[in-house]
Amino acid sequence: MRWAVIRSLIAGLLRRDRVELDLADEVEFHLDARVRDLMRRGLSPAEARRRARLEFGSVERYKEDVRRARGLRLSDELRSDLLYGWRSLRRAPGFTFIAALSLALGIGANTLVFSLLDSTLLRPLNLPDSDRLVAIWTVPAENPDQLGTSSIQRFVALRDRTQSFEAIGAFNGIACGVKTLGFDRDGVAAERILGQTVSPTMFQALGVEPLMGRAFTEAEDIVDQVSPVILLSHRSWVRRFESDAAIVGKTVTLDRVPTTVIGVLPSSFDFFGNDREFLAPLCLTRAQVDSRVGGNSIVGRLKRGVPIERARAEIETLAASLAMIDPARHAGLSFRMESLKRSQARLLDGIGQPSGDYATSLMTLQGAVGFVLLIACANVAGLLLARGTGRQHEIALRMTLGAGRARIIRQVLTESLPLTLLGASLAVLIAWLGLKLLVSTAPSGIPRLDQVSLDLRLLSFTAAVALLTSLIFAIVPALHVSRITSGASFGPSQRTTWSAQHQRVRSVLVSGQVALALVLLVGAGLMIHSFVRVLENELGADPRNLLTFDFRLPSRESFRAVGAYRGLGLFEVSPVPAQTVERVFDRLQNVPGVVAVAAVSSPPFVGPSVEMPIVIEGRPLPPTVTAGAPPNEQQTADYFAITPGFFKVMGIPVRRGRDFDSHDRADAAPVVIISETMSRQFFPNEDPVGQSMRFDFVPNERPRQIVGIVGDTLAGPLETSHRPAIYVPHVQQGATFVGPLVYLRIGMTFVLRTAGSPMSVLAEVKRAVAEVDRTTPVASPRTVEQTLDGHLERLRLSMWLLGVFGAVAALLAGTGIYGVIAYSVAQRTREFGLRMALGASASSVFTMVFRYATRIVVSGLGLGLAAAFLLSGVLQASLFQVTRTDPATYVSVAVLLMVIAALACLIPVRRATSVSPTVALRHD
Amino acid sequence: MPEEAALLPGTLDLLILKAVSLAPEHGYGVLLRIEQITGGALLVEQGALYPALARLEHQGLLDAEWGTSDNNRRAKYYRLTAAGRRRLKSETDRWSRLAVAMTRALSAQEV
């Protein structure tokens, strides 16, 4: 569009008077100049003026031509339409309020959900050239649908043997990512902080430059000689170190090792999240490098100009060649590459493996709010149609005077813009409040929630949605209204035909609303039903009044690598952690408010536990990994090391045999306790108590006797099946341990049953622990109920959001039904008056009206049920023990909507039947 | 009164473009220049100039700016844009070709 055109349109809309003045000026200048010229030729002033006027022609006509040529006609019409729309809003405050509110709810909800969608999936990452960044996952051979993290070997292969990437980096949050920050100053307790270990190439891959200092070099990340250096996150630097300008080069104590701060990251760098306070070099021990275990997430930056397909092909070739060279380690290997932005929408489990996808939930929600908006639009359209009745005469007149159908349609659309503007402004307010509410409840299920804000992008989105909304809700009345042809009669019969027509359109709209509302309510209903099922899920333990915290000693001092076993690193564990745990255990018995103390190797309900291969004495050996058997064919059980009294603290029943007690010392006969499922699976026809088994994850394991059977517990509140579990007295564990989970061996998670609220004893507990060991902090203190709630956050959030949307949808649909019924009843007042005069009762009138309502609603129900049936598939992944066609939900929702329809009939019918028949008969 | 040729549609636009091509002018000045270059042979109702000027401005062939005239009065000056210059050239060429063809056609000997 040309600049001149845009300029005159804007001038026409905003500075109309100025435009007129300018035009008058120009014409006047011309006439004056002509008069002067004519006077110069000898004419008198009066004569000159007359001549000049004559020569010019009709001033008004040419002015009008200029206005038309400059498109001012259009802007004049737009202006008058907008003003008319605004005035008619002010004249009908009731209508304006309802309509604006409906629009505000619809548009606001859309903006809110879009803000989440935008920050997670659409907004480019806060890194340079972020469209060249990719994430590379390993696809496990035994589970091709999943994505997994990679081992060091695979990372090194990707780093060194590919050409398509400018840089490939790896990061790992578990191995050495958790450290204890100790201060040398007295009185300041040690604290556990989280960081991220990264390869030196990561800086180049992500494109991040330190704000101060420098990044690590390759020389600082050599196997078994990783230098104790870190970079601080900007947030940590500001908060913990008070923005010390001389921080670079200073030393802090991490895990009792003096560590040098070599740099600070810029405040714009938030790739690893706000809770990661430092970056350290990858923890490269010989054992780690040789092991099969993953845990490293890989990021790559494509070289400029390299298409993503070429890089993809290259890494696939690499995978194939690795599988060929070293089948024992890499058989069936394949890699999957996706844009880094996409990978950020995945939910990660404790070790960084993708375990869920946030993207589909968001899209589903966006679809749901889209429905709400459509329902709101239908409401407003219906209201506009009703109001349109009063304007038939005006419209007919306009058309008679020459307005074309297009002009009328344009008029109606423009008149609805002020309403949309009002609704959109309210919508921004609603979205802002909604965001504030969401952020304050801070569900952990939404990544980077704190970065979401109502900025220009979102406001543009709101504006775009508002305009689209305006078009949608105004188009129906516009088309309908403009169907009046000129020459229409103005009598009452014509009006009833008109009313009947628009009544039909409104009924169709209402049916649509009911259908949409049904879909949303079914979605909400399914989620609510799931949630109820989750709450009914038997955990097998009593989670109330349990305080839990992690207590682990620094890794470096607590174990050392002594080789490998079955492809995983083997470590010798120092006796210090176990002794410290015992001392803390004893000390905690005396803390007031603590009823019982226990400790366990893996925190309860945090998810799938540690699976360890076992061997039952007296039976043939099961397949092992070195014999080539894939991990899921091994004979394993979930491994827990516990203190005596653990079952009592957790409320887990002992079914047979006994619990551990103080006699089960390190030098006594080794014993174990198994769970019911393990008893069923491994000893289906015999009594396990008295039999022996051996662990097979370290060499030279001695046989242990089974002395008891306990009840099953679920690994988490969303699990449905029980897994075999085996419990060992923690002091009876061997001196060696295997694999990357060795950190479980160097401390334990304490579980304390408290008399009152668990958190109220926390301060005392911290003091007590500090008495035993000042340098190891009480880490992640929480109640077990909080842990459980954490799992349910996503479900709860979805349920709440869908529930709110469903309720809003039902409300809007209800008002839509009410509107149609009320209008219809008002139209039929004469008829009802007549019937009642002839003896009909109020309830029979109600039945007639209800029948009419049912006709409208039932078609909507049918459509909605079909749509819900089709669309419920998107929720399947989030449902718990509820099928997507759960009849109970569908039926209850349908019944609910019928009840709403019945309620919507009540008021109009009461009004109609309470009027005396004579008045009604005279009503026109 | 000398023979006045009626103005064919579209010719006014071309004359305006030509008039303005010599130097930027206000509406009255454009009128004077047209009178000058056509030798007064083409007369036009003066007011018709203004819708034409507005149209040409809208089409992006002219640029308009408010300035001061010789006698210190506020006037709107029009000048040719690059697109206007191109249009002037192409229309001029077209007219020449048309004139040549018509002249030849009309002066052909009667048979």
Per-residue model confidence as pLDDT tens digits over A642-667? 999 999 999 999 998 999 988 888 88
pLDDT tens, residue by residue, A549-559: 989 887 777 88
Yes or no, beta carbons of A62 and B69 under 8 Å apart: no
Q: What element of type H or E holds A39? A: helix A16-40
Check pLDDT > 50 for residue A606: yes
Task: Return the SS3 of A80.
Answer: helix
Task: Give CA–CA dist A617/A814, Å, rounded.
Answer: 69
pLDDT at A553: 83
pLDDT at B8: 60
Sign, CA dihedral A503-A504-A509-A512, equals: positive
Band of residue A495 on the pLDDT scale cut at 50, 70, 90? low
pLDDT tens, residue by residue, A7-50: 777 877 778 888 889 899 999 999 999 999 999 988 899 999 99
Task: Return the SS3 of A216.
Answer: coil
Check pLDDT > 60 for residue A631: no
Band of residue A595 on the pLDDT scale cut at 50, 70, 90? very high
Give the max Cα distance, chain B. Answer: 63
Task: Give CA–CA dist A669/A704, Å, rounded.
Answer: 8
Task: Give CA–CA dist A55/A313, Å, rounded.
Answer: 80
C-beta of residue A112 within 8 angstroms of C-beta of residue A434: yes
Mean pLDDT of A258-266: 90
Tokens describing residue A521: 């309510």
The residues in B 66-85 lying below 8 A from A, measured between CB atoms, are 66, 69, 73-76
DSSP A275-296: TEEEEEE----HHHHHS----B
DSSP state of A248: T
Task: Return the SS3 of A443.
Answer: coil
The amino acid present at B96, given as its one-letter code, is S
- CA angle, A184 as apex, A182 and A186 as ends, to 5°? 105
- Residue that has been written with the tokens 């120009």 in this structure: A26
Yes or no, beta carbons of B59 and A2 under 8 Å apart: yes
Q: How far is the CA of A482 from the CAs of A498, A581, A915, in angstroms? A: 12, 83, 35
Tokens describing residue A332: 């069936």
Band of residue A884 on the pLDDT scale cut at 50, 70, 90? confident
Task: Give CA–CA dist A810/A525, Å, rounded.
Answer: 13
Name chain A contacts of B54, Cβ cutoff 8 Å.
Answer: 65-66, 69-70
Q: Where are the alpha helices (DSSP H) in A285-357?
A: 286-290, 308-325, 327-330, 340-343
pLDDT tens, residue by residue, A99-110: 898 899 889 989
Residue in A883, A882, A878, A881 with CA at minimum distance from that of residue A347: A878
Asked if A492 has any chain B CB less than 8 Å from its own CB, the reply is: no
- Residue that has been written with the tokens 């399947």 in this structure: A876
Q: How far is the CA of A376 from the CAs of A104, A372, A505, A806, A855, in angstroms? A: 9, 6, 16, 12, 21
Task: Give CA–CA dist B89/B78, Å, rounded.
Answer: 18
Tokens describing residue A689: 């108590």
Residue in A185, A904, A7, A777 with CA at minimum distance from that of residue A513: A904
Minimal Cα–Cα distance from A122 to chain B, Å?
A: 38
Band of residue A582 on the pLDDT scale cut at 50, 70, 90? very high
Count Cβ atoms within 10 A of the Cβ of residue A894 and give its class: 0-12 exposed, 13-18 middle, 19 or more buried. Answer: buried
Task: Give CA–CA dist A71/A62, Å, rounded.
Answer: 14
Q: What element of type H or E holds A673? A: strand A671-675
Q: Which member of B26, B57, B73 has the closest CB to residue A4?
A: B57
pLDDT at B3: 43
Considering the entire predicted model, what is its pTM? Answer: 0.76
Yes or no, beta carbons of B50 and A62 under 8 Å apart: yes
Q: What are the start-end ranges of the E strands in A506-657?
A: 546-552, 559-565, 568-573, 594-600, 610-616, 636-642, 654-657
Check pLDDT > 50 for residue A243: yes
Name chain B contacts of A27, Cβ cutoff 8 Å.
Answer: 47, 50
pLDDT tens, residue by residue, A415-463: 889 999 999 999 999 999 988 888 777 666 566 676 777 788 888 888 8
Residue A407's contacts (CB-CB under 8 Å, 6 or more residues apart) are A77, A398
Give the max Cα distance, chain A. Answer: 136
pLDDT tens, residue by residue, A81-91: 899 889 988 98
Name chain A contacts of B83, Cβ cutoff 8 Å.
Answer: none
C-beta of residue A397 within 8 angstroms of C-beta of residue A834: no
Tokens describing residue A65: 């031509």
* HSE (side-chain half, CA atoms, 13 Å) at A385: 30
Yes or no, beta carbons of A57 and B48 under 8 Å apart: yes
Sign, CA dihedral A716-A531-A438-A370, equals: positive
The more confidently predicted of residues A721 and B110 is A721
C-beta of residue B93 within 8 angstroms of C-beta of residue B103: no
Check pLDDT > 50 for residue A325: yes
For chain B of 111 residues, list the mean pLDDT of each consecutive stretch of 10: 52 89 89 83 76 90 89 90 92 90 84 58
- CA angle, A42 as apex, A36 and A44 as ends, to 5°? 70
pLDDT at A126: 81
Residue in B closest to A4 by C-alpha: B58
Yes or no, beta carbons of A5 and B31 under 8 Å apart: no
Task: Give CA–CA dist A911/A709, Å, rounded.
Answer: 71
Residue A489's contacts (CB-CB under 8 Å, 6 or more residues apart) are none
**Cβ neighbour number for residue A698 with a 10 Å cutoff:** 20
C-beta of residue A849 within 8 angstroms of C-beta of residue A904: no
Q: How far is the CA of B49 from the CAs of A281, A622, A680, B43, in angstroms? A: 78, 101, 102, 11
The more confidently predicted of residues A841 and A586 is A586
Q: Interface pTM (ipTM) of the complex? A: 0.87
pLDDT at A874: 82
Check pLDDT > 70 for residue A275: yes
Distance from chain centroid for Cα A583: 44
DSSP A381-431: HHHHHHHHGGGHHHHHHHHHTT--HHHHHHHHHHHTHHHHHHHHHHHHHHH
Yes or no, beta carbons of A70 and B58 under 8 Å apart: yes
Q: How far is the CA of A822 from the CAs of A387, A476, B12, in angstroms? A: 14, 20, 63
Yes or no, beta carbons of B47 and A2 under 8 Å apart: no
Name chain B contacts of A15, Cβ cutoff 8 Å.
Answer: none
Measure the CA dihedral A322/A328/A329/A335, to 10°: 50
Yes or no, beta carbons of B60 and A59 under 8 Å apart: no
pLDDT at A274: 77
pLDDT at A607: 67
Choose the most confident range, by mean pLDDT, from A145-149, A153-157, A486-490, A719-723: A153-157
Count Cβ atoms within 10 A of the Cβ of residue A695 and give its class: 0-12 exposed, 13-18 middle, 19 or more buried. Answer: buried
DSSP state of A863: H
pLDDT at A143: 75
Interface test with A, best of B13, B58, B87 (most A CBs within 10 A): B58
Kind of pairing between the strands at B25-26 and B62-68:
unpaired
Band of residue A487 on the pLDDT scale cut at 50, 70, 90? very low
Tokens describing residue A889: 């939900």
pLDDT at A791: 80
Residue in A282, A242, A283, A248 with CA at minimum distance from that of residue A265: A248
Of A306-315, A475-484, A832-841, the one with minimum mean pLDDT is A475-484
Band of residue A632 on the pLDDT scale cut at 50, 70, 90? low
Yes or no, beta carbons of A62 and B73 under 8 Å apart: no
The more confidently predicted of residues A342 and A186 is A342
pLDDT at A486: 44
Mean pLDDT of A194-204: 89
C-beta of residue A632 within 8 angstroms of C-beta of residue A142: yes
Sign, CA dihedral A759-A760-A766-A768, equals: negative
Query: What SS3 string covers chain B?
Result: CCCCECCCCCHHHHHHHHHHHHCCEEHHHHHHHHHHHCCCCECCCHHHHHHHHHHHHHCCCEEEEEEECCCCCEEEEEEECHHHHHHHHHHHHHHHHHHHHHHHHHCCCCC
- Residue that has been written with the tokens 């494109």 in this structure: A207
Task: Give CA–CA dist A483/A593, Å, rounded.
Answer: 79
- Residue that has been written with the tokens 């040729």 in this structure: B5
C-beta of residue A569 within 8 angstroms of C-beta of residue A735: no
- How many A×B Cβ pairs under 8 Å? 71
The amino acid present at A786, given as its one-letter code, is Q
Task: Return the SS3 of A653.
Answer: coil
